[in-house]
Amino acid sequence: MNEVKHEHVFSLGVITCTPGAESYSLYGHTALRYCNPSTGEDVVFNYGLFDFASPHFLWRFVLGQTDYMVGAQPTAYFLRDYESQGRGVTEQVLNLTRGEEDRLLRFLLWNIQPENRTYRYDYLTNNCATCVLDAISEALDGTVQYPGEAGCRTYRGELHRFTAERPWMQLGNDLLLGADCDTLLSPEAVPFLPYTLAEFLDTACVIRTDGRQCRLVSETRVLVAPNAAGQTESCSFPRPALVAWLFALLCLGLVVWEWHRRRVVWPVDAFVFFLQGLSGCLVLFMFCFSEHPTVGSNGQVLLLNPLPLLCLPWVIARARKRRKCLYHPLNVIYLCFFLIFSLLTRQQFAEIIVPLSLGIAVRSASHWINTYRTHAA
């Protein structure tokens, strides 16, 4: 693109794309548009670019070490891509002075240079929405006026707005995100998602250095109307909470059957403990090694960890011989304390945690009671 000149009459706007049907697009997307009718330049600065072919991409993604890039592409190509997906695109034209426009454009031109274009992605604090807001804030001759209070909004609550129709994806997030995700957000932290940023810009004001106050957005335009192809489909599977409570009820029903038969169906428990320990390997790995935000404050690691997997051979050996196993009474006591902890912690646990804990506790209690009944007889 040409070097910035003051005589150019151009506009800069924030692009917001509606959520898509794919899981990676559920939160929408944000970009910046530069349009200069006098030169015919019309490009989008896109902060959502990444390279699947980069070395160890998936492994680095798991570890939270994913690098994203910012690049410029013709607006027509950008809009055509989202139109083909059935996703809507709106533009909020920024109400900037000539000096602010010049400063912001110069920064964007600097940012897309090969040596400056890469940044470490963080889905809560350093993503397409936060990068755009930071760039705008730095270009202003003044400060953005945030609302006085953010209310009771949290990172998890905002994420839930966009995964409400995808409960199993929401479950995956909730199993990995820790207590820091439930901290009340400051007004400055609220616009971390494309739609929350768009909502913020609708009412945002700028207080100039000379004391003047004006709206940050002068006009909102619909560039692409969404259609049915891009709508997020509701999940047809039962909600995870329903499945988890059914599991707890089945565990209780099995206990009643075992009580009358004076025996324990240990293969069922071996399978349950195996799944608990296997999922615990992932949760503990993310807790200890991942750089993703908030995963290191996840109290659910007290339930989902590899210990049941490590103890499984011993538990199976004792069950097959119908002998007492210390694991079960200790597990019942431990799970009772865990359930109390789940009520007291500030972290919002995943909706399956309580019924899952109850079901596992019931199974260990059945082992404990029926083994003692057998030996007493």
Q: Which residues have a Cβ under 8 Å from the Cβ of 318 and sit 6 or more positions away?
A: 324, 325, 327
Please write the tens of the pLDDT for every residue from 16-38.
999 988 877 889 999 999 999 98
- The Cα–Cα gap between 156 and 10 comes to 38
**Which position has the higher pLDDT, 56 or 160?**
160
Q: What is the pLDDT of residue 78?
A: 96
Distance CA 271, CA 197 (A): 45
State mean pLDDT over 341-362: 96
Q: Could you tell me the pLDDT band of residue 2, with boundaries at 50, 70 and 90?
A: very low
pLDDT over 70 at 373, yes or no:
no
Model confidence pLDDT, tens digit, residues 97-124: 999 999 999 999 999 999 999 999 999 9
Question: What is the greatest pairwise CA distance in the chain?
Answer: 97
What is the pLDDT at residue 198?
A: 95
pLDDT, tens only, 222-234: 999 988 665 656 6
What local confidence, expressed as pLDDT, does residue 368 receive? Answer: 85
Between 21-25, 32-36, 240-244, 297-301, the lowest mean confidence (pLDDT) is in 21-25
Instruction: Return d(Cα 349, Cα 182) in angstroms, integer.
Output: 10
Q: Given this model, what pLDDT does residue 292 score?
A: 92
For the segment 261-271, the average pLDDT, to the nearest whole number, is: 88
Q: How far apart are CA 340 and CA 42, in angstroms?
A: 58
Contacts of 172 (CB under 8 A, 6+ apart): none
pLDDT at 3 over 60: no
The 10 Å Cβ neighbour count of residue 22 is: 10
Q: Which domains does the chain have, with CATH numbers?
A: 11-150+186-230 (3.90.1720), 240-376 (no CATH)
Sole residue written with tokens 């013709």:
74
Query: Following CA atoms 215, 218, 222, 223 in sequence, which dihedral angle do they give, to the nearest 10 degrees?
Result: -120
How high is the pLDDT of residue 6? 44
Banded model confidence at residue 8, pLDDT cuts 50, 70, 90: very low
> What sign results for the dihedral spanned by CA atoms 147, 152, 153, 155?
positive
Asked if pLDDT for residue 80 goes beyond 70, the answer is yes
The length of the chain in residues reads: 377
pLDDT tens sequence across 277-289: 999 999 999 999 9
pLDDT greater than 70 at residue 5: no
